[in-house]
Structure 1
Amino acid sequence: MEHAVFDLGDFPLQKGSVLPRAELGYTTLGELNDARDNVVVCPTWFTATPSDTAQWMTGADRALDPGRYFIIVPNHFGAAVSSSPRNTPPPFDRGRFPHVTTYDNVVAQHRLLTEEFGIERIRLVSSWSMGACQTYAWAALHPEMVQAIAPISGSARTADFNKVFLAGNIRAITSDPDWNDGFYGDKVPIRGVKAMAALYAGWGFSEPFYRQEEFRAFGASTVEEFIDYFWDAFFIKCDLHQVRRQRPARADVDVVAQRPG
């Protein structure tokens, strides 16, 4: 699936800094009708590209059917397709990438819809996990524009329990000597990523999932194999530079990572 890029220029951020030459990656599915009232916005979740989100959330004869709706899938900052630590030139690259928030993402997405497509009404905003955080923010920031929301497995504000979990994930990666404060090169902090993957394995699926040994459906005969096959492989393939800025905080203050993606 091809991604388009919307040029935001020098983009002011909620925290007070500016993201220079900011870019918002996105993809679209379906056709915008003449009335421009069949728009669905489906923001990406933690680690996901627009292609990932579109493949999981949309499809013919599904609720988000491109045959009925014009579906816009914008990529949040830090997630590889939009401006991210790995693709932003110095001096804002890698560990120096500015802090961005859920608010910043929705402001950028609003500009995409209004400036690029001339859209004034949104039939639905819906997504999962960190995409659900953005879904809530859309409704809060633009109630005159958004007709309905359907957040899935996400919250408008991150709970303390989730913050504790996320702190463990951050420490797992940043404790790897190869992390180098976010300025690693070809020597990726794989040990830290694998430690994070093991933590996520207990969060991303329920206790009954493991008790009933549902992991065997993934070709794994043990829990250890499942972590290797599924979780290690999942996070190693992600754009690792995006992890640095996914910090636990209120959803209206910082970009929030909840569950994969």
Structure 2
Amino acid sequence: MTITPTGAALRSSAAAASMLLLVATASADTERFDLGDFELESGEVIEDAFLTYVTHGELNEARDNAILVLPSLMANHTRHDFLIGEGLALDPDEYFIIAANTLGNGHAISPSNSESQPNMDFPQFSIRDMVNAQHELVTEEFELDGLFSVVGLSMGGMQAYEWAASHPEFMDSIVPIITMGRTTGWVTAIWETQRRAIMEDDAWQDGDYDEQPGGFKSAIGGLMVWVRHWHWMDPEFEEDNKEAIAWLEEQEDNLMEVWDANNYIYQTRAEDLHDISEAPGMDGDYEEALRSIQAHALIMPGTKDILHPPDDSRLAAELIPNARLAEIDSDLGHLGGGGVDEADIDFVNNEMRAFFNELRN
């Protein structure tokens, strides 16, 4: 189900829209792709691994119109629905869109649903492992030898960068939105404070809890602030700053219904491991890794994003040979690229449509 926010704290359409996006659950039946025992780059093995996905549109006769869409942290295959539809950037009349769930999000194999390796017995995976699993999905399930584009926001954009680094000739383009090619110390420090809030709560029970621990609620509350900006928060609660507390509690309560603490720990740790300069064939030189990307890139940072600041995107746009930078100037910060505000949605869709049209013509 989709949880609808209520109460005076969610006064603006932007507040309501952001909640609906974050708590969206499966709105369509997903297909399942079995990976079997899936070996990670660490050498550990995820037993009985699987991915799930939905598709929109049809593969054309030339089999060159497929776009892989990848979810952000804790999100699912519905996360990019604001980009999918007639006349939008991901138009099913033009493209075959594969919206995939990824390792650890609760809709693919995850600590929360593994029967043989539950909870903290689950092997730690990386962004690169996510991409390697997706490569099997694309090449084995759909028998594709290439993609027109790989699109993703936030952690989905990390996966798009990793696709370009690990499989440089496989896609024509990437669209990384509000993201980075490697995780910085700033971001890792944020994630570590989130994990400590969970793991230092006695109710977490080393991952073997029956109910989501209260520390996870605190972590969610912190995230809900980090993905926004004071240029949105302050006007939103200008009349009564204390309304921000009620708003925050409602955000936390709703997300506690659909997110899992162990999954959150594993996916944020996967982000910590993210660095495209460690991809096969790279030598750890990040700037050289960016220069080596062959795909055309539309890079879309948020100018006021305090979770994933725009500096890395600006560097990537400077160094990737065929890159275009389109900055999202939104008071929503990180969520400026997340399908919340109508003006931001129009900007992202318009930039993507123009980018894709240039590549096709």
TM-score by shorter chain over 0.5 = yes
> In the alignment, which residue of structure 1 is the partner of 2:246?
225
Cα separation, 2, equivalents of 1:78 and 1:61: 32
Cα separation, 2, equivalents of 1:136 and 1:162: 17
For the residue of structure 2 that corresponds to 1:212, the secondary structure is helix
Cα separation, 2, equivalents of 1:166 and 1:155: 15
When Rg is computed on C-alpha atoms for both structures, the one with the higher figure is: 2
Cα separation, 1, equivalents of 2:273 and 2:152: 18
1:112 to 2:137 alignment: yes
Structure 1 residues 132 and 214, CA gap change in structure 2 (3 angstroms): farther
Equivalent residue for 2:264, pick from 232, 236, 243: 243
For the residue of structure 1 that corresponds to 2:272, the secondary structure is coil
For the residue of structure 1 that corresponds to 2:51, the secondary structure is strand
Q: Give yes or no for contact 2:221–2:251 (8 Å, CA) kept in 1.
A: no
For the residue of structure 2 that corresponds to 1:61, the secondary structure is coil
Q: Give yes or no for contact 1:47–1:79 (8 Å, CA) kept in 2.
A: yes
Q: What does 1:1-261 align with in structure 2 at a 5 Å threshold?
A: 1-50=28-77, 52-90=78-116, 92-185=117-210, 187-189=211-213, 191-213=214-236, 222-246=243-267, 247=269, 249-252=272-275
Deviation, structure 1 residue 73: 1.4
Deviation, structure 1 residue 45: 1.1
Aligned identity (percent) is 33
For the residue of structure 1 that corresponds to 2:264, the secondary structure is helix
Q: Give yes or no for contact 1:127–1:150 (8 Å, CA) kept in 2.
A: yes
Counterpart code for 2:65: N
Structure 1 residues 215 and 159, CA gap change in structure 2 (3 angstroms): farther
Cα separation, 2, equivalents of 1:103 and 1:152: 18
Deviation, structure 1 residue 54: 4.1
For the residue of structure 2 that corresponds to 1:138, the secondary structure is helix
Q: Number of paired residues? A: 252
Cα separation, 1, equivalents of 2:136 and 2:118: 24
Cα separation, 1, equivalents of 2:169 and 2:82: 28
Cα separation, 2, equivalents of 1:176 and 1:129: 27
Structure 1 residues 7 and 208, CA gap change in structure 2 (3 angstroms): same
Deviation, structure 1 residue 235: 4.1
Cα separation, 2, equivalents of 1:229 and 1:157: 32
Counterpart code for 2:135: H
Counterpart code for 2:153: W
Structure 1 residues 118 and 233, CA gap change in structure 2 (3 angstroms): same
For the residue of structure 1 that corresponds to 2:79, the secondary structure is helix
Q: Structure 1 length as normaliser, TM-score?
A: 0.89
Counterpart code for 2:230: E
For the residue of structure 1 that corresponds to 2:147, the secondary structure is coil
Deviation, structure 1 residue 93: 0.9
Cα separation, 1, equivalents of 2:238 and 2:61: 47
Please give the per-residue CA displacement for 1:174-207, whole angstroms capped at 9, x wherever unaligned. 122110111112x321x21221122113201011
Cα separation, 2, equivalents of 1:221 and 1:140: 46
Q: Give yes or no for contact 2:127–2:273 (8 Å, CA) kept in 1.
A: no
Counterpart code for 1:132: G
Q: Give yes or no for contact 2:183–2:275 (8 Å, CA) kept in 1.
A: no
Cα separation, 1, equivalents of 2:124 and 2:94: 37
Please give the per-residue CA displacement for 1:144-177, whole angstroms capped at 9, x wherever unaligned. 1110111000111011111111111101111221
Q: Give yes or no for contact 1:40–1:124 (8 Å, CA) kept in 2.
A: yes
Structure 1 residues 222 and 193, CA gap change in structure 2 (3 angstroms): same
Cα separation, 1, equivalents of 2:196 and 2:242: 29
Structure 1 residues 38 and 15, CA gap change in structure 2 (3 angstroms): same
Q: Structure 2 length as normaliser, TM-score?
A: 0.65
Counterpart code for 2:250: Y
- More RCO (CA 8 Å, sep 6+): 1
